[in-house]
Amino acid sequence: MVVSCHSCPLRRKSVFTQMTDSEVAFMQKFKTGELEVEAGSTLMMEGSKSPQLYTVLEGMGLRYKSMAAGDRQVINIVLPGDFVGLQAGIMDEMQHSVEATTAMTLCVFDRKNLWSLFRDQPERAYDLTWLAAVEEHLLGEALAMLGHMDGLQRIARAFVRIYIRGKALGLVQQGAMPLPYKQQDLADALGLSLVHTNKTLKKLREDGVAVWRNGVLDIKSYEKLCEIAQIETDGKAVARPLI
């Protein structure tokens, strides 16, 4: 059953900026269908020219770059509302891969209609640029994190960032949210070895800061976590456009 943009459950959430009815109608035309993928599927391959672009409706995923020697750098996690494939649409090819960690439902757009969006809907073009600029900002933060923080701080910071996003999406219940990734995924995101990630998680657990187990992140002390992460406790997710 295909959801109409008008009644899209994501669109109602306050994290997403509101559109006028005519704007929603345009997006509806832009949308060409829905895609369901199972856990583990690769949505986009580094170097490929995907003919399709997606907005995540449900499920979680990972963006990553493959490196020499078989290891990879996780760029960030993909949550509902995220737009996937902008690079393939704007540049020629994807510069990273995208993988579904859980089963996912995606809203599908056709890449060849992207230009009409720039021509006829400058507001949406602006939104796309906004998304790219925000992504750039987030990567800048991640870079600073890898460059200047130790393992404990990195993990704490990752948890805070994820928690803020999860909260904005309504995924958090009593301080806990689903986080169905592997320790290896986190290690690959933070530039740490699996072993060291594991030991650092243990420390956070024993210090009563946060417990991440069985795919659920449970924040025991948001204050302590933020202190370690060097982040203000009042951080909120910024409202973002939903494409």
Partner DNA sequence: CGGGCTCTTGACACAAGTCAAATCGCGTGG
Partner DNA sequence: CCACGCGATTTGACTTGTGTCAAGAGCCCG
Applying CB under 8 A, the residues found at the interface with a copy of itself are: 65, 67-68, 71, 73, 75, 86-87, 90-91, 95-96, 115, 118-119, 122, 125-126, 128-130, 132-137, 139-144, 146-148, 188, 190-191, 230
81 backbone dihedrals φ, ψ, rounded to 5°: 95, -15
As a whole number of angstroms, the distance between CA 12 and CA 23 comes to 15
Of 49 and 213, nearer to DNA (C-beta) is 213
Task: Compute the least distance from the CB of residue 178 to a copy of itself, in Å.
Answer: 25
| Sign (positive or negative) of CA dihedral 198, 204, 206, 212 | negative
Pick one of DNA, a copy of itself, none as the site partner of residue 236 (Cβ within 5 to 8 A by kind): none
* Residue 180 or 240 having the CB closest to DNA: 180
Contact indicator for 152, 203 with CB cutoff of 8 Å: yes
Binding site for DNA (CB under 7 A): 150-152, 182-184, 191-202, 213-214
Give the whole-angstrom CA distance, residue 7 versus residue 115.
26
Closer CB to DNA, residue 131 or residue 211?
Answer: 211
Output the smallest distance, CB 154 to DNA, in A. Answer: 7
Q: For 102, list phi and psi in degrees, rounded to 5.
A: -110, 180
Least separation, in Å, of the C-beta of 210 and DNA? 12
Say how many residues make up the chain. Answer: 243
Q: How far is the CB of 176 from DNA (least distance, A)?
A: 16
- Yes or no: say if 110 and 51 are a contact pair by the CB < 8 Å rule: yes
